[in-house]
Amino acid sequence: MNLIDIGANLTHESFRHDFDDMLLRASHQGVSRLVVTGASLQGSIDALALARGRPGVLYATAGVHPHHAVDYDDATDLQLRELATQAEVVAVGETGLDYHRNYSPRDVQLAVFERQLAIAVDLHMPVFLHQRDAHDDFIALLRTVRDRLPAAVVHCFTDDGVALRHYLDLDCHIGMTGWICDERRGTHLRELVKLIPADRLMLETDSPYLLPRTVKPAPSHRRNEPMFLKHICEEVARDRGEDALAVAAASTRTAELFFGLERLG
Ligand SMILES: [Zn+2]
């Protein structure tokens, strides 16, 4: 099995003490390449540094999560633009809207989302998007720029069928996390995942968050890590009535094309 984890928060402090072992475990479970999520300016700088240390294995995104939108100023914008031009940075984001927690005011989130979409448009890069409890504002803004973006993935999709239809109509990609392995709150995703064309479906752990509930026994520390991506692949395959190896191959090919990984070798 050859998998790409398109969303792993490997700059998280919980990975500091066993980073190399964590990557080794992932590779033993077929996860050969990973995209390290940049969710703040410093996080994006750190993600790029990690990617540079593991060429051909780690890649990075550069962006500011809506939680941190209040920290975004003109200097941030300039630095993100600089980061985004680096070869190892394969998408702009994580950016988007999160009205679930509202750590940043909504008007600030919207403005900062718009500025990062503009970076992707200017540099002709794919975007790595986050949306929670904000679908209407999110889709309205995305619609205004979608035809100027080469590609867009709505990562950690947990929303309903209407939202999925909107995203697919805008030719977005969809990122599936271990949420789909959660028999308490993820069952609707088991139906919806059948509707996603193979060339629009990608897999991610969102490590260290969202430990799949199908990992048994669950590790005592509850930390999710990329080696568990296989569990997500297997659940998706079960739900789609497909072979896990076929889902792995298709989602890997989709991720290679989405992020342009082949040009980096
Ligand atoms: Zn997210």
Task: Output the six-digit token pair for 215.
Answer: 């990992």
Cα–Cα distances (Å) from 109 to 1, 116, 126, 141, 231, in that order, read 39, 11, 20, 12, 33
Rounded mean pLDDT of the chain?
Answer: 96
State residue 262's pLDDT score: 75
Report the percentage of the chain scoring pLDDT > 90. 94
* Cα–ligand 1 centroid distance for 94 (angstroms): 7
State residue 46's pLDDT score: 98
Give the predicted TM-score (pTM) of the model. Answer: 0.97
State residue 106's pLDDT score: 96
The average pLDDT across 61-87 equals: 98
In the beta sheet, which residues pair with residue 128? 93, 153
* Cα–ligand 1 centroid distance for 96 (angstroms): 8
The average pLDDT across 24-29 equals: 98
The average pLDDT across 119-123 equals: 98
State residue 263's pLDDT score: 56
Cα–Cα distances (Å) from 49 to 46, 61, 231, 252, in that order, read 5, 11, 28, 24
* Cα–ligand 1 centroid distance for 190 (angstroms): 20
The average pLDDT across 38-57 equals: 98
How sure is the predictor about 221, in pLDDT bands with cuts at 50, 70 and 90? confident
* Cα–ligand 1 centroid distance for 130 (angstroms): 5
* Cα–ligand 1 centroid distance for 10 (angstroms): 14
State residue 265's pLDDT score: 45
The average pLDDT across 109-137 equals: 98
* Cα–ligand 1 centroid distance for 204 (angstroms): 11
State residue 101's pLDDT score: 87
* Cα–ligand 1 centroid distance for 155 (angstroms): 6
